[in-house]
Amino acid sequence: MKTGSRPISNLLIAACTLLLCACGETGQARTAPGITLVIHGGAGTMSRKEITPERERQYREILSRVLESGFAILEEGGGSLDAVEHAIRIMEDSPLFNAGKGAVFTNEGKNEMDALIMSGAERNAGAVASVTTIKNPIRAARAVLEHSQHVLLAGRGAEKFAAEQGLEIVDPAYFFTQRRWDALQKAKEKSSTNPRKDDWKKFGTVGALALDARGNLAAGTSTGGLTNKLYGRVGDSPIIGAGTYANNDTCAVSGTGQGEYFMRNLVGYDVSALMEYAGLPLAEAARKVIHEKLTGLGGRGGIIAMDKDGHIAMPFNTEGMYRGYISTHGEPHVFIYGDE
Amino acid sequence: MKTGSRPISNLLIAACTLLLCACGETGQARTAPGITLVIHGGAGTMSRKEITPERERQYREILSRVLESGFAILEEGGGSLDAVEHAIRIMEDSPLFNAGKGAVFTNEGKNEMDALIMSGAERNAGAVASVTTIKNPIRAARAVLEHSQHVLLAGRGAEKFAAEQGLEIVDPAYFFTQRRWDALQKAKEKSSTNPRKDDWKKFGTVGALALDARGNLAAGTSTGGLTNKLYGRVGDSPIIGAGTYANNDTCAVSGTGQGEYFMRNLVGYDVSALMEYAGLPLAEAARKVIHEKLTGLGGRGGIIAMDKDGHIAMPFNTEGMYRGYISTHGEPHVFIYGDE
């Protein structure tokens, strides 16, 4: 809000912002200005009852590894876009997450993926939607950002562009995993045509945010979408301001959850707008968007968010969210459940 | 901004809002609470030198006809979604606009269309992207809104869904018009691979906003995108909050212009956020989004916007925009140039 027309209210907003304390949620709102990497691997109904100790160990291990290797890029002076792309690429290559190799199946038994990467410096982005043959959709999104005049390419047009850019193209069979196939069969037993409420329980979308040494924010998200989704369904992940957003003046955001609700609520941009126009600090803006606005409309999910000073927030209204951050001290901090 | 945490600043914002006068731009900001229909048929470099009197007459005639027949629906007590769909369908069936029948050609010589319709009451939407065989993409968008759990369907998946819904499917040859084919050849002479700056000069996207007797806002947009665009490129029109937005608490918006800039700026939702969080009245919010924020990033285009009380604004930073409105008095008001 830079209209200059309401100096008194602006001053009041600024004063109130200073008075508002950081969000007290667990595993969140650590204050650590400087280079920072934040990641998520999806939100959902994960609870200690449902996850075996072995599976929990696997998730904690890979989240720590993603944070450490992505942070090394920032420590060496690399850019935030590079760190975000690298972190997401590792998660895409793991069968543990619903992105790349571990993508879920559509109603037609295919794997259709969406991804977006956004630079907070230029507020420019690249995205691909409904792609089936690109090994790393986040790399294709980066190529759209850097080598096209467009923001979003969908379907075979996106695949043709990725091939022209020399990216790795794979047979769709590469994305087959027994676990995801079984999940589709189970979902189909309940409903043959559309995802039902029961199928929304887990959102394995992956995302990353980085703040580099030059003060540039970047955000990225990659997903296989929803198990049993309709052929051609595009969710929030590749939509600027819905599942992903970055703006050096405000914040970077990546979301995971019921994509349709994230799109209708403009979740990513809404955090930024509440900071810019209503003067809220990051933690309060993120809390309001997830716990008041998304929850109020009946949507489920969570976000990771980071402001230009490296403050972070990771609110979610599901039982858990795979998430973590690493900052100037270089120690990865990883969380799964709501009470950590 | 309903946090309840800053009553004094909220009061100041409310007071200042009352003091701010309506935008004084020509052909805009008529105050007419009650049922209202607003439409656009694209912005661009149209000037009196470039448009023949005969062509100008054709545009004014069809814009008036669209307004009158869409308004009849509202007068008979019809809903805002019905009026918006009807208005856009007439423009899709005309070769004069870059939507439906008159859609421009992609770099590969095809017609790929995007459309979205949104209800301000539920803040729910339906959209299709990159469709090539659906006669009226806005009808398919309405079907996604009403008969799927998704918001956005792309490509052949969207076409399959439209066929299942019983919508009219046509041979892609239906969308051939000599005028658009010639425009592609001209664009290709300049650049064989990508739209160039010169190709961004005209944006024939169509859009409509309606406020019905029950106070429900709706917005819709339909487009063929950019002449010579890459295969699979999705623009701002089918993206909630970018080219199209509706929220009964704030406003309805439909845009036309350089889609990538509208997506990066979240143009539609930004008007709403400035009203909700910064307390700006519609005309000031719309002016700021187009003349400060979009222009500041180097983007070109315009919007039509209407608030919940029927106030309207139609700012653009191009030479002209086909636009018009009709309200309680029942007279259509149609404008083309910037000085009307």
Contacts of B151 in chain A (CB under 8 A): 259-260, 263-264
**Do the bridges between strand A113-119 and strand A217-223 make them parallel or antiparallel, or are there none, so unpaired?**
antiparallel
Q: What pLDDT is attached to residue A201? A: 59
What chain B residue is nearest to A289 in terms of C-alpha separation?
Answer: B1
Give the three-class secondary structure for B116. Answer: strand
- At B163, the amino acid letter reads A
Q: What pLDDT is attached to residue A192? A: 52
Q: What is the CA radius of gyration of chain A?
A: 19
Contacts of A271 in chain B (CB under 8 A): none
pLDDT digits (tens, 9 = 90+) for B71-111: 999 999 999 999 999 999 999 999 999 999 999 888 888 99
Of A129, A149, A264, the CB nearest to B195: A149
Whole-model pTM?
0.88
pLDDT at B256 over 90: yes
B1 assigned to some structural domain: no
Of B9, B153, B234, the CB nearest to A12: B9
Q: What pLDDT is attached to residue B324? A: 98
How close B293 comes to chain A (CA, Å)?
11
Confidence of residue B335 (pLDDT cuts 50, 70, 90): very high
CA B255 from chain center: how many Å?
4
Chain A from 40 to 59: CB within 8 A of any B CB: none
Query: Sign of torsion, CA B252 B255 B260 B265?
Result: negative
B4 assigned to some structural domain: no
Q: What pLDDT is attached to residue A34? A: 87
Q: Do B125 and A269 touch (CB under 8 A)?
A: no
Q: How is residue B321 annotated by DSSP?
A: E
Confidence of residue B227 (pLDDT cuts 50, 70, 90): confident
Which of these, A134, A334, A130, lies nearest to A142 by C-alpha position? A134
- CA dist., res. B113 & res. B101, Å (int): 10
Contacts of A1 in chain B (CB under 8 A): 274, 277-278
Q: Do A263 and B269 touch (CB under 8 A)?
A: no
How close A223 comes to chain B (CA, Å)?
15
Tell me if chain B has a CB within 8 Å of the CB of A291: no
Q: What pLDDT is attached to residue A49? A: 83
For an interface test with B, give the residue of A2, A147, A150, A261 to mutate (most B CBs within 10 A).
A150
- CA dist., res. A168 & res. A148, Å (int): 18
Q: What pLDDT is attached to residue A46? A: 80
Tell me if chain A has a CB within 8 Å of the CB of B232: yes
- In SS3 terms, chain A reads as CCCCCCHHHHHHHHHHHHHCCCCCCCCCCCCCCCCEEEEEEEEECCCCCCCCHHHHHHHHHHHHHHHHHHHHHHHCCCCHHHHHHHHHHHHHHCCCCCCHHHCCCCCCCCCCEEEEEEECCCCEEEEEEEECCECCHHHHHHHHHHHCCCCEEEHHHHHHHHHHCCCCECCHHHHCCHHHHHHHHHHHHHCCCCCCHHHHHEECCEEEEEECCCCCEEEEEEECCCCCCCCCEECCCCCECCCEEECCCCEEEEEEECHHHHHHHCHHHHHHHHHHHHCCCHHHHHHHHHHHHHHHHCCCEEEEEEECCCCEECCECCCEEEEEEECCCCCCEEEEECCC
CB within 8 A of B193, min separation 6: which ones?
A: B107, B230
Q: Do B280 and A3 touch (CB under 8 A)?
A: yes
Phi/psi of residue A163, each to 5°?
-65, -45
A202 assigned to some structural domain: yes
- CA dist., res. A198 & res. A191, Å (int): 10
B43 assigned to some structural domain: yes
- CA dist., res. A120 & res. A81, Å (int): 9
- Hey, which residues does B301 pair with through a beta bridge? B257
**CATH, residue A304:** 3.60.20.30
Dihedral (C-alpha) A129, A133, A136, A138: value to the nearest 10 degrees?
-10
Q: Which candidate in A133, A205, A223, A318 is catalytic?
A: A205
pLDDT at B2 over 60: no
In the numeric block, the tokens 């996604």 are attached to B144
CA distances from B313 to B23, B81, B82, B251, B323 (A): 8, 20, 22, 11, 11
Q: How many CA atoms lie within 13 A of B193 on its CB side?
A: 7
Angle (CA) B319-B325-B326 rounded to 5° is 160
> Which segments of chain A have a pLDDT < 50?
1-32, 196-199
- CA dist., res. A282 & res. A32, Å (int): 13
- At A197, the amino acid letter reads K
Q: Which candidate in B205, B221, B250, B318 is catalytic?
A: B205
Of A9, A123, A241, the CB nearest to B241: A241
Query: Is A45 considered catalytic here?
Result: no
- CA dist., res. A232 & res. A110, Å (int): 10
Q: What pLDDT is attached to residue B230? A: 85
Q: What pLDDT is attached to residue B340? A: 87
Q: What pLDDT is attached to residue A16? A: 32
CB pairs < 8 Å spanning A and B: 174
Q: Number of structural domains, chain A?
A: 1
Q: What are the DSSP E strand ranges found in B105-151? A: 113-119, 124-131
How close A329 comes to chain B (CA, Å)?
34
Chain A from 193 to 212: CB within 8 A of any B CB: 194-195
Q: What pLDDT is attached to residue A189? A: 83
CB-based contacts of A270-274 (< 8 A; 24+ apart in sequence): A270/A241, A270/B269, A270/B273, A271/A245, A271/A303, A271/A305, A272/A245, A272/A247, A273/B269, A273/B270, A273/B273, A273/B277, A274/B1, A274/B277
- CA dist., res. A38 & res. A324, Å (int): 6
pLDDT digits (tens, 9 = 90+) for A268-299: 999 999 999 999 999 999 999 999 999 999 99
Compute the average pLDDT of residues B321-338.
95
Q: What pLDDT is attached to residue B58? A: 96
What would the two tokens of residue B100 be? 């439906």
- At B120, the amino acid letter reads G
**Do the bridges between strand B124-131 and strand B152-154 make them parallel or antiparallel, or are there none, so unpaired?**
parallel
B54 assigned to some structural domain: yes
Q: What pLDDT is attached to residue A33? A: 53
Residue A75 belongs to what domain range? 10-337
- Average pLDDT, whole number, for chain B? 88
A112-121, A182-191, B125-134, B264-273: the lowest-pLDDT one: A182-191
Q: Do B157 and A231 touch (CB under 8 A)?
A: yes
- CA dist., res. B197 & res. B209, Å (int): 29
Query: Sign of torsion, CA B295 B297 B299 B302?
Result: negative
